Each structure stands twice: as structure tokens, then as C-alpha cells.
Homo-oligomer: A and B are copies of this chain.
Amino acid sequence: MVENAAQRGTGGTPPARRQARPDLAEMVVPLLRTLMAAEQPVLDAHGLTMWAYAVLLHLDETPIRTQAALAEAIRADKTRIIAVLDDLENRELIRRRPDPKDRRARLLSLTAEGRRLRDTVQSAIQLGEEELLAQLPAADRDGFLRGLQVLSALAEPGASGAGRETGNARPRP
């Protein structure tokens, strides 16, 4: 069904040029490695793990009413973020208090200091990222960012057109 991009036997020149491009994952994985390597020193400098940073980022975006909802939003196991929340709470970067209307649930919110730390860290991270992006011509850079934004949204918990209960990320034609 697929016509193989590596065409063979066309006359006397078989360069056997496998595929027109590498697999996307084959390119995305090294890129992610680069990004994480650049982030790590920044996070370390502020005593944040990647999960803690993800919590700060997401709490800022959306006030969250239960830990389970937060865990799902950042695609972590609910048991996994507990130690993270403990730490952030002890450092007074987040607040975690029982919901008065249902004391089983915990209302999660950023403190002012948490917000300030998030801003600082994110600015530093994005500053480093801009150095990477500066290696691209302006047109590619813009296309890259727009494309990345669109494609990444397909995997979000409430992705377009797909029910959230299936969990497979197969787009529909």
C-alpha cells in the first residue's frame, strides 16, 4: 500500500537512498535529550525536579481541585506526585488545603513565591531554547514552532476529536 520511498533498480544507479527523511521519533528523541540536558542545570540550581517544574507550570495555567486531576493533566501517576507536592508545600511554593466542601479533596494553588520561581526558571529555560532556535532560518523557526505546537496538542488529555478514554493517539482522517 505504501510505495516505498527507497526505490531500487532504476537503471544503473542504485544509491539505495533508504528514506527521504528519518523517522520523526528518531529526530525527536535526540532533540528531547538536548532540551532536557539544557534544562537540568537550571532546575538543579533551583532545587526542582522535572516533575516539580511540571507541577508549577500546570498549576499556574489552571487552578486544580484534586491531586488526581493534576496528576492526569501532567500525565503522571497520582502516587508519583505526592512526594513532589510534599516538597513544594514545605518550601511554600504551593498551597495544599482540604476543600471545605469535601474534605477528602485537596485544593492546590501556587503561592506568590511559587509563581515567582516558576517565572524565573521558565525564563532561564526559554532563554536557552532561544539559543537553539537561533540556529534555524527565521522561516523554518516559525514553521517549526507552529508545527510543534499543533502536533503536541494532539496528545493532550482532551485532544481534538478523540475521546479521552481510549488513550491511543490515532488521528482520524
Contacts and interface: CB of A to CB of B under 8 A. Distances in A.
Contact of A122 (B19, B33, B156): B19
Interface residues of A, number: 71
Given A33-B169, A148-B27, A168-B37, A4 B155 contact: no
Contact of A164 (B30, B135, B150, B171): B135
A60 interface: yes
Interface stretch (A64-72, A82-90, A95-103, A138-146): A138-146
State how many copies of this chain the complex holds: 2
Interface of A: 1-2, 4-6, 18-19, 21-39, 54, 57, 60-61, 75, 119, 122-127, 129-133, 135-136, 139-156, 162, 164, 167-171, 173
